[in-house]
Structure 1
Amino acid sequence: MPSSTSFNHETVSLDGEHFSDCEFRDCRLTFAGGEAPVFRNCKIVDCEWKFEGAAEQTLAHLKAVWNAGGKAPVQALIKEITGGGR
């Protein structure tokens, strides 16, 4: 579990990681669909998000649902993720 670490211009794999009081600046953050990462009191500045494997496939599925006329369920999911439904 990285703690109080500064990541700068690095590629950081997020799957299954727990980060506490870390800063990510100008990094590539990759997620492949494993265990969700945990961020506690972290700062993320100008980073690129890269989704691979199962995570990439899930996003492709949501895009296909959206394009097939399923905007409402995708929007409901986004609302749930952002806390807009509470």
Structure 2
Amino acid sequence: MKISNNNFANEEVVLDFHEYESCQFTNCRFVVLGYGPFALNQCEVVNCEFTFAGPAASTIQTMTTIYHNIGEQGKQLIEGTFDSIRNAGANKPA
């Protein structure tokens, strides 16, 4: 669902399956469940927090377990994943 030019304040906003464009979020709690993609395009975000629930929280817990319990190979896997995330947009044209 696409939502454009709205203002959100002091509320919980589930992101899954939503595309927000040119919206303003103030003091909101974003919830990522991990069921589907989302987008925040040209949005202003002020004093908001992100939380993970459902499958997204399970993924975070799995990554935490791998990092802390699988030794150096686990740490390298998770650090490599973060490097891929950090570099995902590096080679895209401006």
TM-score by length of 1: 0.91
Deviation string 1:1-54 (CA, Å, 9 cap, x unpaired) is 110111111100101000101111110100111111111111222111111110
* Paired AA for residue 37 in structure 1: F
Asked whether 1:15 is paired with 2:19, we answer: no
Q: What amino acid sits opposite 1:43 in the alignment?
A: E
Task: Flag structure 2 segments of 5+ consecutive residues without an equivalent.
Answer: none
Q: How does 1:47-86 map to 2 (within 5 A)?
A: 47-68=48-69, 69=71, 70-83=74-87, 86=90
Aligned residue in 2 for 1:28: 29
d(CA) in 1 for partners of 2:26 and 2:88? Answer: 28
2:38 is matched with 37
Is the 8 Å Cα contact of residues 79 and 85 (structure 1) preserved in structure 2?
Answer: no
- Distance in 1 between residues matched to 2:60 and 2:38, nearest whole Å: 17
Which blocks of at least 5 consecutive residues in structure 1 are unaligned? none
Larger Rg: 2
Q: Percent identity?
A: 28
Aligned equivalent of 2:7? 6
Distance (Å, rounded) in 1 between the aligned partners of 2:25 and 2:84? 26
Query: Does 1 or 2 have the higher relative contact order (CA < 8 Å, sep 6+)?
Result: 1
Cα pair distance change 1:85/1:38, threshold 3 Å: closer
Q: CA RMSD in A?
A: 1.6
